[in-house]
Structure 1
Amino acid sequence: MSWELGLLLGVLWVVIGVLAVLVLLHRRGHADTIWYLLGAVLGPLMVPIAYERGRSRSVVLEREDAPGTWGDGAVQLRVLVGVDGSPESDQAVRDAARLLGTAGARLVLATVLDVDSAEREDAAERGQARALLARVAEQIPATADGQIETRVLAGSPAQALLELAADEHVDLIAVGRRGRGLSRALIGSAAQQISASSRIPVLLATPADRKTG
């Protein structure tokens, strides 16, 4: 075997393993860099491992009412808002709050951690998630009539929000048109995935200062 062929096979080995991690794990919420190192070492052997590992369903890590729950009327509208701290996400919260109006409603604010952090029971990351949701909840006008709840999830952002929407029987999903994370060219836009897969209406929010045309 020539060294050129050996080099080509070596590169192909690494590429297959890394792609398996990117497609089968990262898209499912496994963001730890150790997976890429394992993929580079195991090559094609990583494919069945990544496939099996990536089949897991998203998990609700924490579920609680946000401070300032109000209203005791019947719930007439259920809105799920994906929260990641981006300006687009904050706009989605404001847009959803306006939809509540004066009618009894339930607003579910949800943020998603990667699966590996959740499995490590990373207290710091969970604390940051709780703080983010608390900050966002404070943006809701006190004049709104409804109930606020929060969820901390683990998994792929799009998959986790879609599964929560089904479990909570929500009427609308509100997310930022773009969010935080790696290049959409690599992992795809969670907003686009939700829009393409959701069976209920999806509101895609963009801050006014970023709208064009």
Structure 2
Amino acid sequence: MTGIQVGAVAGAVWLAAGLATILWMARRGHRDPLWLLMAVVFGPFLALMAAERIERTPRLVHADQADDFPTDSTRVLVGIDESLESHAALHAVLRLFDEKSAIVIVLATVVDFDAADIDWRGRQHAAHELLAAARRTVGDRAVTCEVLAGRPGPALLRCARRHHADLVAIGRKGRGLSVRILGSVAEELARKAPFPVLIVGPDASLASHEPVLARRPTESQVEAP
């Protein structure tokens, strides 16, 4: 091999190692685009930096709690993002529980760990705007709004357990490249949640906001800690 070929192979290996590291980080809730630049610069050495940087436990960034509500209220967690499916999930919950129902709605949106620490792209602000819009949709019902950090699936699952949720509602997106690489949040919740999960899929009628799938946990899931 010529020197140019050796250099090209070495460069490709260097870049591939860096990209593999940021993919690993993205699947664990670190999705800042700056990591892409660092992958090019540091290559395989980025893995050493990532090992110290990675957070493994989702956390609460901000909470706006409901003022007062009956302790025996039904608690429903709705995962909110910018997709039409998530807002269809919210409307599905409002259709299932009318204004006379004793219900507390927990609206939660998730940012990555990096945005929770240094919000240079305004992602926390965007998260608050999403929750504010969803809260206006809910109207006069008791509402708690939370911004979470981490991987969306584990973050929502942890939030639901903390609130002792009776139901989780979430939109299910299609099977694009990001879903194939990072996984489906709805499917992860459906597998792991020890409580009923209501899922609104991309093929649902968003005009009527009809839920397309509701599931209940198996006995083994209910008994699991």
Aligned position for 2:95: 98
Q: Which moved more, 1:99-108 or 1:55-64?
A: 99-108
Aligned position for 1:21: 22
Provide the secondary structure at the position in 1 that maps to 2:27. Answer: helix
**How far off its partner does 1:109 sit?**
0.2
Q: Is the 8 A contact 1:15 1:43 kept in 2?
A: yes
Within 5 Å, give how 1:1-213 maps onto structure 2.
2-3=2-3, 4-23=5-24, 25-65=25-65, 72-101=69-98, 102-122=100-120, 124-140=122-138, 142=140, 147-178=142-173, 183-206=178-201, 207-209=204-206
Q: CA RMSD in A?
A: 2.8
Unaligned runs of 5+ in 1: none
Q: Distance in 1 between matches of 2:119 and 2:95?
A: 35
Q: Distance in 2 between matches of 1:52 and 1:201?
A: 36
Identity %: 34
Q: Distance in 1 between matches of 2:81 and 2:184?
A: 13
The one-letter code sitting in structure 2 at the alignment partner of 1:109 is L
Deviations 1:140-177, CA, capped at 9 Å, x for gaps: 255xxx52110011222222112212222212221111
Provide the TM-score with structure 1 as the length reference.
0.81
Unaligned runs of 5+ in 2: 213-225
Higher relative contact order (CA 8 A, sep 6+): 1
Provide the TM-score with structure 2 as the length reference.
0.77
Q: Which moved more, 1:95-104 or 1:149-158?
A: 95-104
The one-letter code sitting in structure 1 at the alignment partner of 2:136 is E
Over 6 Å off, 4+ runs? none
The one-letter code sitting in structure 1 at the alignment partner of 2:54 is G
